[in-house]
Amino acid sequence: MATNEDFKEALDKTLLFAPQLYDGLVFALRHRQRFERKEPEPVPGANARMLLSAAINVLAVIVGQEALEEAYGDDPPADAPRADQLMAAWWRLTLSDVFRVTVGDYASPSSPFSIRDEIHAIAKGDRPTLLGQLPGTKGRPVNSHRLAHHQLAAHEWETFLREKGWSVSDAQNAVATAYGQTWATISKWKAPIVRELGQPTYDNAMRLARLGLAYYRSTSSVSDDETMLSLDGEAHRREQRRSLVSLEK
């Protein structure tokens, strides 16, 4: 039977040969100390969320990229039936159940369990309840919020490229080409972005873009800037097409 010393020795060896895991553990423990000291934060619960995020990152390092990808599964093709996309999302949500089983009420409509179960029910043909569309504003595209996120990405790109050393004209022309719009049009997107997402979200996105940490850059597996910018531009065009269709109905 393994003793505590055996576990300690195994941990020491792991940390010796996996500096990423060591760094992750130190980061997580620091956030735990901040949480336990009840240090004030501008957002209530921020320390707790940062602690949980750090712990999950440690878990991801322990599990390893290959096992994570195997458990997560391959994405269904983009043109796959919506039911296939829903089932993939449902399965992936079940993987994180372990983080939720000890908190919250399973039956609460706002619990991740309810969202997971509703996705499964929709995939099987049920009508949405929680995830059904809320009443909208007349004349407003039904995807204005999603569209604003894509518009925000364009502004992030312009800021990021300028911070990277591009001239203002080169950065704006690159974004305009990728998005298939003039920069004069793109610059006017700030108003709908702020309306849909809020001024703090816009300001924070610009701050992160200046640091090279723009949201859309951090959530892509592509590392080439030119390719990523092109993909973001195409994503905006797809969302814009949905917006135009919604106005025609």
pLDDT tens digit sequence for 134-176: 776 676 778 899 999 999 999 999 999 999 899 999 999 999 9
Q: Report DSSP state, residue 97.
A: G
Beta-carbon count within 10 A of 159 CB: 19
217/239 Cα distance (integer angstroms): 18
Handedness of CA 164, 167, 172, 177 (dihedral sign): negative
Going by pLDDT thresholds of 50, 70 and 90, the confidence category of residue 90 is very high
Give per-residue burial for 205-232: e unless 16+ CB within 10 Å, then b: bbebbeeeebbbbeeeeeeeeeebbbbb
Average pLDDT over residues 73-89: 91
C-alpha dihedral (112, 116, 119, 125), degrees to nearest 10: -130
pLDDT of 6 reads 59
Average pLDDT of the chain?
A: 81
Average pLDDT of the segment spanning 14-37: 69
Average pLDDT of the residues in 21-40: 71
Give the CA count within 13 Å in the CB-facing half-sphere of 138.
Answer: 0
| Cα pseudo-dihedral 53, 57, 69, 212, rounded to 10 | 80
Per-residue model confidence (pLDDT) at position 64: 80
- Judged by average pLDDT, the poorest of 37-46, 64-73, 119-128, 196-205 is 37-46
Give the whole-angstrom CA distance, residue 175 versus residue 153. 10
pLDDT, tens digit, 9 for 90 and up, residues 199-235: 999 999 999 899 877 655 545 555 678 888 998 999 9
Give the span between the Cα atoms of 164 and 171, in whole angstroms: 10
Of 3-17, 29-43, 163-177, 219-233, the poorest mean pLDDT is in 3-17
Is 60 exceeded by the pLDDT of residue 118?
yes
Weakest-pLDDT range from 15-24, 69-78, 91-100: 15-24
- Residue 14's pLDDT is 59
Q: How far apart, in whole angstroms, are the C-alpha atoms of residue 246 and residue 135? A: 14
